[in-house]
Structures are given as C-alpha cells and as structure tokens.
Structure 1
C-alpha cells in the first residue's frame, strides 16, 4: 500500500498538544498563530493495519480491562530480532504508560534521595527535570559539539562518575535533540566505565526505529551480556508508528532481580497492563506496520535533506548537520541570533512554534530543535517564514 504523507490533516480541531492554541498561551507567550514544529509526534496518518485493529476494538463495543496475550509478546520479540538484530526474552518485558514515567519510576526504585545521576547535555529536558523532581542531583557530562556533529567526552564521563559517586546514567540513543545514532564502540566504552564503577544504565531507545540509511542502530542489548546486570532499556512503538496517545511503552530488564523488583512496584501502584488500544498498537504495528514505517523513513529522509539544501542555498550562515536518526533537526542560529532574541524572532516574526535550544541545557545555546515529521508543504512554509524573517532583519 502506498501512503500519502503529503496529505495535510487538520489537527487544530482535536486535543492535540502540538497544535493546541490554549497551550501556546503559556509556552509561547500568548502567540496562538504559530505553525507548530515542536512536540515530537508526526503529522501523518497512522498505518492502516493499526487503525483497522483499533476499529475492531471499537466495533466490538466493550472497552474493559485487558491483558497482553502471546501475540503481543511475540510481536515485540520478533520485531527486535528482525529490525535490530537483538534478542529480547519474554520475561524481560515490562509495560509502562510511557518512557518518561518509566525513567522516573526506575530512578525512584533503584537510587536514593540525594544520589547523583549523570546525563549528557544538550538533551531531552525530562532527563534533568525528572531526577531533580525525585530529589536526586544531576551531574553533566556535556557532549562535544563538532560543528553540529556531536561526540562523547569519555575522559570527562569517567571523571564525573568517580568524582561524584554516580549511581545511575541516562543514555539517549538515538540522541534527542542532536540526532546521533551512537556507534557500537562508543556504547562499549561507556558500558565498560559504568560496569567498572557499578553504575546503573537507563538506555532510552524510543527513537530506535527511526534510523536513516547511512547509519546502523546498536541497542545496548547488542553488547556483551556482562553489561546486562544493571541495565534498563526503555523503548516503545509510539514514536515508531505515531501512536503516542496510546500511552504504551516497553521496558526491557534482563536482570531477573531488577525486573521482579520493578514489576512488583508497578503492581503496587496498579500500572500493570496496557490499555486496549495500546495492546493492539503494539501487535499491529510490529506485525503489519513495517511497510508504512519504511515509507515514513523515506519521506523523513527527503525532508531532512530538503532542510539541508534550503539552508545551504538561502541561509548559508545557519549550520545544520543531518541527523542520523529521529525526525528532529538540531539547527545552529548562533551566527544570526542571540538566545535572548530567539523568542521574538520565532514567535513574532517567523510565526513558528519550535523548541529552543536552551530548553535542552545551556549547551543548546544558539540552537533550535525543529520537528520535520510533517508534510513537505508545511516544512517549506516554515523555512520560508524563517528566510523572510531573516531577510527583514538584514
């Protein structure tokens, strides 16, 4: 089946967070007439097999409590084996209602108040906000910015672990917002350091199905099993198939003691099973959604190159390194705009809702994060708005 990602679907009449003008009152200072390229979901219609499976739930007419079945588990196991060349066992799989809540619950259960947690900035804001909200201290191991291509500072990574008695490290792979898909040798270096110093690892791999052709995703589960004893893999079909509203995430915990402890806690707070639509989203997506996903990645690939060509031809002073994964463009405006001028420029002049780089830490200074998982016409309009606004500045 050929999908049409150029179709513009009106989301303003829904409760979409991304398109919600009431939310703009607080997030974007009352500016409600903005073109939204911020929240990380796609403006594309979900794959027909997933919609069909959810229609069957509706047509049945009863939305009661549900339990995952063997097909649910098998679809997860088969998908990871086929798409990522990694083995997932049924006994490792734990349901949560989101990766962000899972990270919070892991921190609460496996670290103590006042413990130090390591993150790599610039990074998705909850990586810092969640530990702090749980009474933990956040220590930074900033990524190294090589003109938009980021690498890890391994020497600083180990030094921060030793100097601060780090208990847990949160990895983002692929990295949000910088778009890196970490190579196996990079992961092995940090894994060995964490193993040496007895540090828990949370590997957020929620964007791991959205990888472009020149890159290869390596899960932490592709590494040696010696690294599995303090490991939590956080993933989901929600980014992959644009079903974030189903609130369904998958946590893989290879160590039985850790898994049992975590599962027991989830049972105590009654976060035990996915909702009816979440179960169907997992099964239909992983079993029948691959054709849709391949077409989405091809479309996103074209969009990321469209941004690159547009900026090189019309705004060469703006630096943009092609992301290796995700549908998020990390764009450097530092040669044109100061951070204090960003808000007025994008909200008043360019009329675009984007994520400001400083939301991801001070290392994001000068950058914006732009979501290009949208029809080409919307993306082109946004870039033209930027171009025209910059032209007026000049």
Structure 2
C-alpha cells in the first residue's frame, strides 16, 4: 500500500520557528535554501523530547545513550546492513565526524578527492583537517544522470591522493551511486593504500524502487577501507539537536575511530541522541514512508512546473533527498542566478557556484515544503523570464 503523503505545516506556523531557514530572510521571501524541512516531527520524537523537557532531563550525554544499538537495528531493518554496535561512535554532526576521521587517518598536506558539484562544507572540512582538496568532478549531467569518474579518481590516487570524501547519496544531484561503482571505488582505494569516508546522511531519503548501497556493504574491500558517517538529522529534521554516528567494519578503520579522543564523542547532544533513537525506532518508519511519498510528489511537481513555466531550465528528478539541482544557464542569468532570484523573485535558493565551478548557472531548491509553496516559488521565478 502506498503511504499517504505527509502534509507540511502552514507557512504562518513555520514562520514562528527560530531556525536558520525562517530567520535568515524577511517574511516576503520564500526560503527554499538550507536543508530543513517544513513537516511536523515524527510522533515518537516529539514524545521523547517532551518527556525529557518535563523531567528537566537536560544534562550531559551518558556514555551509552542507546544511539549505537538504535542505528544498528535501523540499518539492518532498512538496508539489510549488519552493523556491529561496538564499531559505532557518536559525535556532534556529520561534518565534525568527517573532520576527525580525516585528521586521525591522514597526515597534514595529504590530498583528499572530492567529486563536485558537491555539498559546500566538504571543501571547508578537508581544510580543517589539515588536508588539501583534489577535485574529480562527477561525469554526466541532467540527461544521462551523474556518476563517479572512476578513471579520474584512479589517476588522482595513482598521483598520491590519500582519501576520497564520498557523498552517498550525492548532494546536490540526488544521485544514488550503484553498488558496482562503489565496489570499484573501494578496489581502487585498496590498491593505492587510500581510505574512503562516506557521508551517508541522505541514505534514509532514497526513494522506493531505487537500490541504495551503504558504502561499507559494497564489497569486502569497502569494509576494509571505508568509514561511514551519518545522522538522523536530515531525514527527520533534527539538525539543531547535534548527533551523528561514525561507523566502521574493517579492523583498521575501527582502530582509527576507537582511537579518537573522548571529547569527540562527548560533543554528542543529549537531545540529539534521544531524538535519533526515536527516529531510528521502528515506530517512526510509517512517518518516514509518508515523508518519502510527499517528497516524491514534490520532485515530480517541480518537473511539471519547470517544463510548463520555465522550459529553458534543466532538471533531473533526484533519486534521494529533497534537494533539486536546477540548471538555469539557458536563461542567460550568469554564473550565480540565485542572487537575481532572491532580489527580484523573493525566493531564497542555494547558489550553484558554492558547490564547485560545475555549479555555475545552477541553483539548488529545497523540495521539503508544501506543494503550494513550491508552486508559488516557481511562479515567482518564472515571472522574471517574462520581464
């Protein structure tokens, strides 16, 4: 049975929120930029946090808040991934986990491969870890879809790069990398003595019918060279609560994560751990299915709206997530059209060039909203094409 799509909260209610999405711009701007969603929380999360507040349960995070076992159970249920809870550690958020792993596994000045267009903080976290960016852009585009440039990655590894920072599923394109591609990536890393750190925060948001492979399950080699870092925060809208997990399978990566300073784990937010346990509990699975149904409607709606109102725009529906990568180069609005969209249409979207030079002329649109909000946003942007 197809799940009933989750309904977004009314905009007037959303404007009472104090988060980045609703406090960055004036009220005449539709905020479709930062990756926050407009839906109510899953009931088990609300209930767990409400109980904590009523108890005044706002102290330090305990050594075992249940997040490791909760993730292991979730991974097994959703993806058939057998995770050893003893090889899971928590921290504040995914990018912090990435930084700490890179810092521990690499030497200062080592090169880390990224695959643009890609989530902008990837560039910052590599530098924070004392490493150097090596760019190997994705192959393909809107018509064919995107994929890892394995030949380019192999050349970079042969040239001395020591790590690959993978986005799986990929942000901003919404690409779900195939098992074959991931297995080959792992093989290349093993051949050249490199590691793969996989940001898998969008994993719960893969659409039904799309095969998703957590990197560590792609092959025996992937288990030996890989680190996965993920969180309930993206799918369940918990970014402000601060909890992510670092997961390993092979002995080498497990030793690296086990050796991280205790302070890395101390940074886990207590409310984040509570909410993560509730999100990953089976009781929240129905909510997730309804969210995916709503996102499926919106990704298809955007395709229809663009085809009708802005035919020069190019867009491929994401296989995962709620972030749409839209090519506006056909409109002749320059390398960074988000500025004009904000100023003249009063719609806030993410700037394409921040994802890499491959993002010139692109915008990223957040689909995690009510259909009527998405419709209004496209209507406003389309009006600029008639000006």
SS of the equivalent of 1:309 reads helix
2:111 to 86, 109, 116: 116
In structure 2, how many angstroms separate the alpha carbons of the residues matched to 1:219 and 1:246?
24
Cα 1:183–1:95, aligned 2, differ >3 Å: closer, same or farther? same
Aligned to 2:382: 387
Deviations 1:192-249 (A, max 9, x none): 1111111111011000000112311111122223332231101111112111111110
Residue 17 (structure 2) pairs with residue 14 (structure 1) = yes
C-alpha root-mean-square deviation of aligned residues, in Å? 2.0
Contact preservation (8 Å) 2:9, 2:38: no
- 1:33, distance to aligned residue in structure 2 (A): 3.9
Residue 274 (structure 2) pairs with residue 272 (structure 1) = no
In structure 2, how many angstroms separate the alpha carbons of the residues matched to 1:108 and 1:72?
24
Aligned to 2:46: 51
In structure 2, how many angstroms separate the alpha carbons of the residues matched to 1:285 and 1:341?
37
Aligned to 1:136: 131
Structure 1 stretches of 4+ with a deviation exceeding 6 A read none
In structure 2, how many angstroms separate the alpha carbons of the residues matched to 1:86 and 1:377?
37
Cα 1:78–1:172, aligned 2, differ >3 Å: closer, same or farther? same
Aligned to 2:92: 97
1:75 to 58, 70, 75: 70
Residue 311 (structure 2) pairs with residue 316 (structure 1) = yes
TM normalised by structure 1 equals 0.91
1:88 to 79, 83, 88: 83
TM normalised by structure 2 equals 0.93
SS of the equivalent of 1:339 reads coil
In structure 1, how many angstroms separate the alpha carbons of the residues matched to 2:179 and 2:16?
44
Residue 31 (structure 2) pairs with residue 36 (structure 1) = yes
In structure 2, how many angstroms separate the alpha carbons of the residues matched to 1:265 and 1:222?
23
Query: What 5-or-longer segments of structure 1 have no aligned partner?
Result: 25-30
Aligned to 1:330: 325
Contact preservation (8 Å) 2:113, 2:135: yes
- 1:333, distance to aligned residue in structure 2 (A): 0.5
Contact preservation (8 Å) 1:187, 1:220: yes
Aligned to 1:5: 7
- 1:109, distance to aligned residue in structure 2 (A): 1.3
Contact preservation (8 Å) 1:85, 1:222: no
Contact preservation (8 Å) 2:58, 2:270: yes
- 1:74, distance to aligned residue in structure 2 (A): 2.9
Aligned to 1:358: 353
Contact preservation (8 Å) 1:266, 1:272: no
Query: What 5-or-longer segments of structure 2 have no aligned partner?
Result: none
Contact preservation (8 Å) 1:57, 1:276: no
Contact preservation (8 Å) 2:309, 2:379: no
